[in-house]
């Protein structure tokens, strides 16, 4: 027996081993719990930075202009319409109230000026897109763990700097850089999770440790902070435990194998077994690594081959996968952030609205996780289609109420349905990410997730302007998204295969399967050409 430490014994190669080592068994034990803590720390950071502008960009409620007090039943739209004439006759100081001291209230962005805040949000989301795209490519080249650590440290630094902004330009620049690195860690951490957990835990863990349960936590933090500067500082300091955890965990063994770093793979697996306090047979470990690496080399055809985004479009099937999953995430982001960045259009307190949304999202997530674990027939495809169908019905109902002029009578119903939209979209994010991780090879997994997240962030970028479509009718935003959700359902039904319970895809498309522009041309030697000519003659 060869002892490595007091807590773990490496079994000599001559001793019996219960069963052959499998990749799925490596993570079983305490390491999975460690990965759960890792996910929790990063989830709260990612969520807080993405939801930050729902508080920092919260519109104010104008209550008076000098001695002129506006009636409570008067809408903010009507107040903004009469303000120019009122101030032209007698300049007056605006008095307004807000549930949270936002950028709008501190710097006086009201009425039409809020468009500048929406534009700031869009710019910030554009940088999140850049981070998402860059994160996939960089982490595939330099490793999940290293890029995650650098990303969370820089995200924290710029978040802290943003709290000292003196105007909207400084604020937009610093928050955009925060979004850039938040996009990177958002892209990488879920892929890191997928590569470091068992198949049966891949849907359960993201549903239990999700944005849903962290939303009420973030709302509580925002309520205690009461102003955007303090909130930004709290989010920044939340990165400390996340950085400690990412420095402690091992690099993804799957990624190391893909890169051919055999020695590092061995050390990473040994570290995981130490944490799990489980015996490890060194001979079995060597055989496992040799077998897995040989399989990867055969599948990829070339050792250490680098893949890029164009590989995601090798076949019509790949194009269909990317379009459908990306479009589904785009819909989710348009709905969630469209409502969240326009919370003034949702009646009630912002704190209660977001807290209720988070709690019910978590309840739905737990139900889906339990159903996925118990019901073998309930696949990823069925879950996505079910929730898209539910969202379609809700969008049609809200749009219909506005179209028939019933919005005032059914104001409470509309509020409940809008919150329900935000609740049900959570599964679009979670299940689409798992779908992507199971349908693409390891070498393309992060790139695919990055591409889908890019589509999601494009939705975030456009979301602040969603309700400006109300100029064509209050029902317009809802009917537009209804058409989009129907299209996504059709794509899911016809273009995506079921992946639940099936081995992860590790084989790149063959040359015959690829589109013509991606096919490798055969090189014919001179003597072969001469032989072909002679045969024709």
**pLDDT tens readout for residues 63-90:** 888 777 787 777 777 788 888 877 777 7
3-state DSSP assignment of residue 95: strand
**For 340-344, 413-417, 491-495, which range has the lowest pLDDT when averaged over its residues?**
340-344
What CA–CA distance (Å, rounded) separates 87 from 69? 13
Angle 329-335-339 from CA coordinates, rounded to 5°: 145
pLDDT band for 315, please (50, 70, 90 cuts): confident
pLDDT score for 123 = 92
Q: Where are the domains of the chain?
A: 18-58+110-495
What CA–CA distance (Å, rounded) separates 522 from 25? 42
3-state DSSP assignment of residue 281: strand
For 322-325, which contacts have Cβ atoms below 8 Å and span 24 or more sequence positions?
322/448, 322/451, 322/452, 323/491, 323/495, 324/488, 324/491, 324/492, 324/495, 324/496, 325/432, 325/435, 325/436, 325/452, 325/455, 325/496
pLDDT score for 431 = 86
Q: Which residue has the higher pLDDT, 56 or 90?
A: 56
- Where b means 16+ CB within 10 Å and e means fewer, 167-185 reads ebeebbbbbbbbbbbbbbb
Question: Does 1.20.1250.20 match the CATH number of domain 18-58+110-495?
Answer: yes
What CA–CA distance (Å, rounded) separates 137 from 135? 6
Phi, psi (deg, nearest 5) at residue 270: -60, -40
pLDDT score for 13 = 41
Give yes or no for a contact between 87 and 66, defined as CB atoms under 8 angstroms apart: no
pLDDT band for 229, please (50, 70, 90 cuts): very high
pLDDT score for 391 = 94
pLDDT digits (tens, 9 = 90+) for 144-177: 888 889 999 999 999 999 999 999 999 999 999 9
Mean pLDDT, the chain, rounded, equals 82
pLDDT digits (tens, 9 = 90+) for 190-218: 778 877 877 777 777 877 888 888 989 99
Tokens 């194998």 label which residue? Answer: 257
**For 100-109, 217-226, 248-257, 476-485, which range has the lowest pLDDT when averaged over its residues?**
248-257
Residue 405 has pLDDT above 80, yes or no: yes
What CA–CA distance (Å, rounded) separates 119 from 179? 15
Give yes or no for a contact between 24 and 253, defined as CB atoms under 8 angstroms apart: no
Distances (CA, A) of 265 to 4, 240, 270, 445: 17, 27, 9, 19
CA nearest neighbour of 443 among 252, 184, 250: 252
pLDDT band for 49, please (50, 70, 90 cuts): very high
What CA–CA distance (Å, rounded) separates 156 from 224? 20
């Amino acid at each position: 027996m060869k002892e490595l430490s007091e807590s773990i014994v490496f079994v000599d190669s001559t001793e019996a081993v219960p069963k052959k080592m499998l990749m799925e068994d490596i993570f079983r034990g305490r390491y999975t719990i460690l990965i759960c803590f890792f996910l929790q720390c990063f989830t709260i950071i990612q969520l807080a930075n993405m939801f930050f502008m729902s508080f920092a960009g919260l519109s104010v409620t104008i209550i008076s202009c000098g001695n002129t007090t506006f009636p409570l039943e008067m809408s903010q739209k009507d107040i903004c319409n009469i303000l120019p004439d009122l101030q032209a006759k007698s300049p007056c100081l605006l008095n307004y109230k807000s549930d949270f001291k936002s950028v709008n209230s501190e710097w006086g962005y009201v009425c039409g000026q809020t468009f500048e805040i929406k534009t700031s949000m869009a710019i910030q989301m554009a940088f999140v897109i850049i981070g998402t795209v860059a994160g996939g490519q960089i982490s595939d080249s330099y490793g999940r763990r290293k890029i995650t650590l650098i990303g969370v440290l820089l995200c924290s630094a710029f978040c802290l700097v943003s709290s000292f902004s003196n105007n909207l330009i400084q604020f937009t620049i610093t928050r955009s850089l925060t979004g850039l690195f938040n996009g990177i860690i958002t892209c990488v951490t879920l892929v890191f999770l997928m590569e470091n957990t068992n198949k049966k835990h891949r849907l359960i863990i993201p549903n239990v440790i999700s944005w849903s349960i962290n939303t009420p936590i973030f709302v509580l933090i925002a309520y205690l902070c009461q102003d955007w500067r303090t909130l930004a500082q709290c989010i920044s300091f939340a990165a400390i435990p996340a950085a400690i955890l990412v420095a402690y965990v091992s690099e993804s063994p799957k990624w190391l194998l893909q890169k051919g770093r055999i020695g590092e793979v061995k050390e990473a697996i040994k570290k995981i077994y130490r944490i799990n306090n489980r015996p490890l047979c060194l001979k079995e470990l060597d055989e496992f690594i040799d077998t897995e690496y040989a399989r990867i080399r055969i599948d990829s055809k070339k050792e250490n081959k680098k893949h890029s985004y164009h590989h995601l479009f090798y076949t019509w099937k790949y194009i269909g996968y990317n379009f459908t999953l990306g479009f589904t995430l785009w819909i989710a982001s348009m709905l969630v952030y469209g409502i969240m960045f326009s919370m003034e259009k949702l009646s009630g307190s912002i704190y209660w609205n977001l807290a209720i949304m988070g709690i019910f999202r978590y309840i739905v997530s737990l139900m889906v996780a339990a159903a996925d674990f118990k019901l073998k027939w309930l696949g990823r495809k069925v879950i996505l289609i079910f929730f898209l169908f539910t969202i379609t019905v809700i969008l049609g109902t809200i749009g219909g109420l506005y179209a028939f002029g019933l919005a005032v009578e059914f104001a409470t119903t509309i509020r409940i349905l809008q919150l329900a939209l935000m609740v049900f979209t959570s599964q679009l994010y979670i299940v689409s990410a798992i779908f992507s991780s199971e349908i693409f090879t390891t070498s393309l997994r992060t790139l695919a997730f990055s591409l889908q997240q890019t589509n999601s962030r494009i939705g975030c970028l456009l979301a602040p302007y969603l309700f400006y479509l109300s100029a064509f009718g209050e029902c317009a935003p809802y009917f537009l998204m209804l058409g989009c959700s129907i299209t996504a359902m059709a794509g899911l039904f016809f273009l995506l295969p079921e992946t639940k319970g099936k081995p992860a895809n590790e084989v790149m498309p063959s040359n015959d399967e690829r589109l013509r522009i991606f096919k490798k041309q055969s090189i014919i030697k001179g003597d072969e050409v001469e032989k072909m000519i002679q045969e024709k003659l």
